[in-house]
Amino acid sequence: MSTNDPILLQRSDARGVYTLTLNAPRQFNVLSEALMDALHAALDQIAADPNARVVVIAASGRAYCAGHDLKQMRAQPELAYYQALFARCTRLMMAIRRLELPVIAAVQGLATAAGCQLVAQCDLAVAADSATFGVNGIDVGLFCATPSVALSRNVLPKQALEMLLTGDFIDAHTAMARGLVNHVVPAEQLDARVVQLVDRLLDKPREALALGKALFYRQLETGMEAAYQMAGQTMACNMAQEVAQEGVQAFIDKRPPTWRN
């Protein structure tokens, strides 16, 4: 893998932790066609690794991700091209959702429009206190419709719509208060805080995390009674797994569980 590649992939062999780094800092890591394809391919590669445990999506440079590549979009002013482009982005976002593993956004800088969407689409997010977030397509006459899907599933409706309609940016602490990110730390502590969160996830059995992530998102999209039925079935299946049997027995025996992750 070249340092000029749009995505840098690093794997911790001992722990099954993958770090994907958006690597177009001069373009503020915009979601060009090349970068989206490379990120999607990397996620597919990780999905095929049975020993993978956690994914971190980080970025190089000052910006985390400045959204879609507007120059690329302007160069091809055709409806069919735009439809294909946003379908491509949707496939990428759904690849994050469908991945069995927890995906953490490590946000060191600006995350705007589809970049903010990427943060919202990740399962968890840690931000430097210098990071800023916005869905400001409206400033160029383009309502951030696709980013609104992920944003509105993180942030309360009126807060999300105000961001979408005004294009105003919010700082990292406001983003945490509104539910867009989980933790905010000084910039120099970002990597260490991400590692702490990764370590907490590695303490848990892979099977339970995978099952839980899938159920969590499915039940959000359905009615309460159906959600309870789905959750009950999932919990029953989870309890029948070896990891839960061992965990419960360890609790009864007052000892740490032994899991084969």
Q: pLDDT 10s digit of each residue in the chain, 261 long? A: 557 899 999 998 688 999 999 999 999 999 999 999 999 999 999 999 999 999 999 999 999 999 999 999 899 999 999 999 999 999 999 999 999 999 999 999 999 999 999 999 999 999 999 999 999 999 999 999 999 999 999 999 999 999 999 999 999 999 999 999 999 999 999 999 999 999 999 999 999 999 999 999 999 989 889 889 988 888 888 888 888 888 888 888 999 988 776
Confidence at residue 252, expressed as pLDDT on a 0 to 100 scale: 87
Cα-only R_g, the chain: 19
* Rounded Cα–Cα distance for residues 209 and 97 (Å): 13
Confidence at residue 1, expressed as pLDDT on a 0 to 100 scale: 54
Joined together, the tokens standing for residue 99 give 């991945």
* Rounded Cα–Cα distance for residues 148 and 112 (Å): 12
Confidence at residue 137, expressed as pLDDT on a 0 to 100 scale: 94
Confidence at residue 226, expressed as pLDDT on a 0 to 100 scale: 87
Domains, the chain, with CATH or none: 7-202 (3.90.226.10), 206-253 (1.10.12.10)
Q: What is the DSSP letter of 137?
A: G
